[in-house]
Structure 1
Amino acid sequence: MSRAPRFLAILFALLCGALPACAAQDAALERGTAITDPATLRELGGGKFRLDRMLVPERSAEIPLANSELFALPSMAPVRQAIDGEFDRYVARHHASLPKETIGVGEGFDFQLFDRALLYSAETRFVLAGVVNRMDRTYAAEASCGEIRLIYRLTRMNKAAGDNASPPRLPMTLNLVLKARAEGSAIACSEIARRWLGASASDGPLDLIDYQNVDRIETNLQIAHAPKSSVRDFRTDYLLKVFRYDREARVFTEAPMENQIDRMRLLADDGFKREFRSWLLDPVNLVAFDRGTVLIPEKFLASGAIAPTPVGFDPSDLEPEFGLLQGEGAVFTEADVVAALRKAAEGGAKLQNIRSLAGFERRLNDVTCSGCHQTRGIGGFHFPGVDWMADSPSNSTVVPASPHFFGDQVRRRDILASLRDGKPPDYSRGFAGRPQLRGSTELAGTNYYDGWGAHCYVQGKPAANNDGSFRDWTCAEGLTCQATGKTSRFGMCFVKSR
């Protein structure tokens, strides 16, 4: 056997041997924090968690509501209007910035726009693709013990047999965010956490939630795709939006996105810059920013975001907060950040993640919705979900979520355990590209933390010159961190070359 076939055979054996272990590990990682089993989702999606039953509980019809009817509901009219407005603005920006590249629906265009007709079609609907516990966000919603999320995938319902050109699942998710504890409920957060970590048939956690828990809708839509060409690299843009439920008016209204810093407004207004800089560099807010629990005031936030992918490891204007740090007109200077970090340390604060200018810059990006979605996602999604309707699911539908999602499960489960046991939870989180271990060994050696394909930082000599924010971003034994960008020392863990 020649060297090439032998290498391929070894690689195939390694991959095939690893797949069952990886699948088992993924299932274990999400225990108590998410529901991804296809059979369970099929049952839940056909029952009280069918989307129209959550949004229109008075509707008694057994036939699911098609999207043509869904977006005709008075409660969903503002959602459709806002999404249409984002499409119009996206196309207008494209014509202004890339006048020589065409944009439209279909493969004949340089930028292939998502066909909005499918979103509002009688032939599509949203199908339940996963249930995710986010009680790790109780710090942001203490009265409701955090959140439970029902994630639905846009699906074509009349796919012709053998029509491979029209996949049944379309590139959009709708996240129905529920309060883990409904208003007026007397149940304790500890009891809700106990049910999730040790669910039983008699007192399951899903018994506690229904349409009365609805808080908001979050949408993630692949708005356009540009194949690699002679003038550009492959690129896909995702549109992110949030709509809060106004219970009195019974409508979903467009809302600012949590921590989605409005870069364009900041860079255009010096007074706004000063106000935001003063707020974020205040020691109390800086510590929360470091821990990943900061809640930036809504006046500094945008109500929509485009998340381009992929972005790579080098600084790029595709990143949501590019230009806020350094450069002409920047919001923060190096001196601003260094002085703020020193002041926080002198005040007794123990920063966990941000120990340098680069750490501050990375947190600026990954604290935003779009920056997080650009990090270790499946395209621009962190939870595309399992396709329980498919006859032969592909890899993209067998794996329900991204490496970022799975890497965060240890932290989320640790918080659930603290809530269950009545202990003060540690709500902090690391950077989006490198999860917290919380004393666990579950992630060691995996691609979620320091195994093959994990994100890492190229260590230099002397060690004292390595960036303090990323000094522990190393690789497991037998692997080495290999930079993948032109200027950045960030990279991925690969097998050492001899």
Structure 2
Amino acid sequence: MSRALRILVAAAALLGGVASLFAAETTALTRGTAITEPELLRKLDQNNTLTISRLLSPERSADVPLTTDLMFASLPQLKEIPPAIDAEFDRYIARYKAAYPTETIGVGEGFDVQLFDRANLKSRDTRFVLAGIVNRMDRAYVSEESCGEIRLIYRLARFDGRPDGGKTATRLPMTLNLVMKARDPRQTDANGKPVACAEVARRWLDNGDWQGLIGSRIPPYDAMLDRIETNIQVSVAPKSALHDFRSDYLLKVFRYDAATKTFEESTLENQIDRDRILADDALRRDFKAWLLAPDHLREFDRGTVLIPEKFLARAAVVPTPAGFDASALQPEFGMMQGEGQAEGKGDPVFTDSDVVSALKQAAARGADMQNVRSVAGFQRRLNDVTCAGCHQTRGIGGFHFPGVDWLADDPSNSAIVPASPHFFGDQLRRRDILTAFASGKRPDFSRGFASRPQTRGGKELAGTEYQDGWGAHCSLQDAGSGTPDRSFTSWSCANGLTCQAAAASRRIGMCFIKTR
């Protein structure tokens, strides 16, 4: 064997080992909280066990998943989704042309800005494949009766014919999440007793019959349907004289209406409609008064706040990368003092003194603020409590779960990461909540900032990129006081690393190797 060949073999073995180690690490982190095993997902998809069509229409006799042209045409529950997405695309294109009139925008490489091809949603060659299943019982604070949610995440894929008669699969930049209630109150166990949240949690933690809890087994079969969430990489714009490289993602939500038996366009949870609020004096006053009320501010701090619909948007465009610096790319920009004044946005919704006064009032009422302890903490939470702000933070582009690539020839060695650092970093918190449910205790539903995981005292993430390792987000010392901001005092780096500025941000940096 030649020296060059030996090097190639050694490199392949090393990379294979790294892939195996990564797979083992992610499997351990998602134990009990997510299904990411490629072979199991392949089986559930190809056997038509947990496909979209089977869950929406269990009485169907077909044994194969539907292609997108048939899925949207034959499942009446989905009829509102394509036209709503088309309307958002039309609005997006109009806004882009107004902002950059000299650039071309369209489908294909011949355009300055390349759009997602909507023809893929009406094609006989594409379908949504099951790419992961995620337990979100940590969201039971939204609806205690349903014990939270189970999310079935599907990735759009195109299947092109090969000369040998086979098919080549290409994953496309779109996910569709079918969100189910974690529990149907009508479900019973082997003893005929209603299935409690504790039982649901135990089945997931013990890898028991969690599949038996997905979907209703008795009429009405749609009792566990909650909503559909779509995430599409709507455009890619290479760097030009007018702007840096940018990739935009379109987020939409469609809630299930049992009366009409359709998924209907809805607002996005906590996605504040910045432009509408800034343009309406009455709405901005109402929003400020509502959010700064002590009880709501405490929920805001804990990450469990549910902002009323009148303040929310029905779609979100997520520009990436957004960076650490405050800019119009972030969903709250212009609402805080000192932001957007040069753009003629007028007075902010929240002044520094508004926030400081509200924090003092909350403290006087005995509220123990865990995260939002300063104006900077309030501003960061105002961003990451939104769908767009969360997706901009430690994501893979605009995705947090692009999905397991079991379509690859050897999924176990696939270089495609199934989920983002934010997703993996949050698994300890989610598992802690499942464990509390399983033991009959009241869970702590609080969460930290999207940039840093809430470890709940666990050490599994120490030294990793998810917490304080290389590339983790950290707190820079204030130039004046020489100390970190009060909201980020725990954002330190592991031994051998130091927090270094990664942009113009004065507060948030990244953990890198000490250079001096």
Q: Same fold (TM over 0.5)?
A: yes
1:182 CA displacement: 1.4
Q: Which amino acid aligns with 2:475?
A: Y
Which residue of 1 is the match for residue 484 of structure 2?
466
Which residue of 1 is the match for residue 262 of structure 2?
251
Give runs of aligned pairs for residues 131-170 of structure 1, distance below 5 A. 131-160=133-162, 168-170=170-172
Contact conserved, 1:48 with 1:210, CA < 8 A, in 2?
no
Distance 2:161 2:81 in 1: 26
Which residue of 2 is the match for residue 91 of structure 1?
93
Distance 2:415 2:317 in 1: 24
Which residue of 1 is the match for residue 515 of structure 2?
497
Which residue of 1 is the match for residue 296 of structure 2?
285
1:392 CA displacement: 4.8
1:190 CA displacement: 0.5
Residues 434-458 of structure 1 show CA distances to partners (whole Å, capped at 9, x for unaligned) of 0011010001000000001111112
Cα separation, partners in 2 of 1:154 and 1:376, compared to 1, 3 Å:
same
Could you say what secondary structure the match of 1:241 adopts? strand
Could you say what secondary structure the match of 1:243 adopts? strand
1:481 CA displacement: 1.1
Distance 2:406 2:79 in 1: 29
Q: Which amino acid aligns with 2:197?
A: C
Which residue of 1 is the match for residue 367 of structure 2?
349
Query: 2:201 matched to 1:193?
Result: yes
Q: Which deviates more from structure 2 when the two are superposed, residues 210-219 or residues 350-359?
A: 210-219
Could you say what secondary structure the match of 2:160 adopts? coil
Residues 111-147 of structure 1 show CA distances to partners (whole Å, capped at 9, x for unaligned) of 1011100122111110000000000000011110000
Q: Which amino acid aligns with 1:309?
A: T
Residues 421-444 of structure 1 show CA distances to partners (whole Å, capped at 9, x for unaligned) of 111111000000000110100010
1:23 CA displacement: 3.1
Which residue of 2 is the match for residue 56 of structure 1?
57
Which residue of 2 is the match for residue 449 of structure 1?
467
Cα separation, partners in 2 of 1:464 and 1:13, compared to 1, 3 Å:
farther
Distance 2:15 2:454 in 1: 26
Distance 2:247 2:411 in 1: 23
Distance 1:96 1:394 in 2: 46
Unmatched 5+ stretches in structure 1: 1-10
Which residue of 2 is the match for residue 416 of structure 1?
434
Residues 52-89 of structure 1 show CA distances to partners (whole Å, capped at 9, x for unaligned) of 11122222112321111112232211111110100000
Q: Which amino acid aligns with 1:262?
A: D
Distance 2:197 2:429 in 1: 17
1:265 CA displacement: 0.8
Distance 1:312 1:44 in 2: 38
Query: 2:211 matched to 1:206?
Result: yes
Contact conserved, 1:244 with 1:253, CA < 8 A, in 2?
yes
1:20 CA displacement: 4.4
Q: Which amino acid aligns with 1:189?
A: C
Distance 2:14 2:334 in 1: 43
Q: Which amino acid aligns with 2:68?
A: N
Cα separation, partners in 2 of 1:110 and 1:274, compared to 1, 3 Å:
same
Distance 1:403 1:452 in 2: 12
Give runs of aligned pairs for residues 475-494 of structure 1, distance below 5 A. 475-494=493-512
Which residue of 2 is the match for residue 68 of structure 1?
69
Distance 2:206 2:433 in 1: 15
Distance 1:104 1:318 in 2: 22
Identity of aligned residues (%): 62
Q: Which amino acid aligns with 1:253?
A: E
Which residue of 1 is the match for residue 42 of structure 2?
42
Which residue of 1 is the match for residue 285 of structure 2?
274
Residues 331-378 of structure 1 show CA distances to partners (whole Å, capped at 9, x for unaligned) of 111111110000000110000000110100000000001110001111
Aligned mate of 2:233, from 218, 222, 227? 222
Provide the aligned length of Structure 1 versus Structure 2. 484
Distance 1:464 1:453 in 2: 22
Which residue of 2 is the match for residue 438 of structure 1?
456
Distance 2:131 2:409 in 1: 15
Q: Which amino acid aligns with 1:57?
A: P
Unmatched 5+ stretches in structure 2: 1-10, 188-193, 217-221, 339-345
Distance 2:403 2:152 in 1: 11
Contact conserved, 1:266 with 1:273, CA < 8 A, in 2?
yes
1:161 CA displacement: 6.4
1:229 CA displacement: 2.7
Cα separation, partners in 2 of 1:326 and 1:463, compared to 1, 3 Å:
closer
Q: Which deviates more from structure 2 when the two are superposed, residues 150-159 or residues 236-245?
A: 150-159
Give runs of aligned pairs for residues 171-190 of structure 1, distance below 5 A. 171-185=173-187, 186-190=194-198
Which residue of 2 is the match for residue 336 of structure 1?
354
Could you say what secondary structure the match of 1:469 adopts? helix
Distance 1:482 1:256 in 2: 38
Distance 1:472 1:175 in 2: 33
Residues 296-339 of structure 1 show CA distances to partners (whole Å, capped at 9, x for unaligned) of 11111111100010011111100011111114331111111110
Cα separation, partners in 2 of 1:280 and 1:248, compared to 1, 3 Å:
same
Which residue of 2 is the match for residue 124 of structure 1?
126
Distance 2:113 2:351 in 1: 36
Distance 2:397 2:138 in 1: 24
Distance 2:26 2:97 in 1: 43
Could you say what secondary structure the match of 2:247 adopts? strand
Cα separation, partners in 2 of 1:65 and 1:118, compared to 1, 3 Å:
same
Cα separation, partners in 2 of 1:388 and 1:262, compared to 1, 3 Å:
same
Aligned mate of 2:378, from 357, 360, 365? 360
Distance 2:330 2:306 in 1: 20
Could you say what secondary structure the match of 1:106 adopts? coil
Residues 258-293 of structure 1 show CA distances to partners (whole Å, capped at 9, x for unaligned) of 000010110000000000100000000000000000
Cα separation, partners in 2 of 1:305 and 1:396, compared to 1, 3 Å:
farther
Contact conserved, 1:447 with 1:453, CA < 8 A, in 2?
yes
Which residue of 2 is the match for residue 405 of structure 1?
423
Which residue of 1 is the match for residue 244 of structure 2?
233
1:230 CA displacement: 3.5
Aligned mate of 2:447, from 413, 418, 429? 429
Query: 2:32 matched to 1:32?
Result: yes
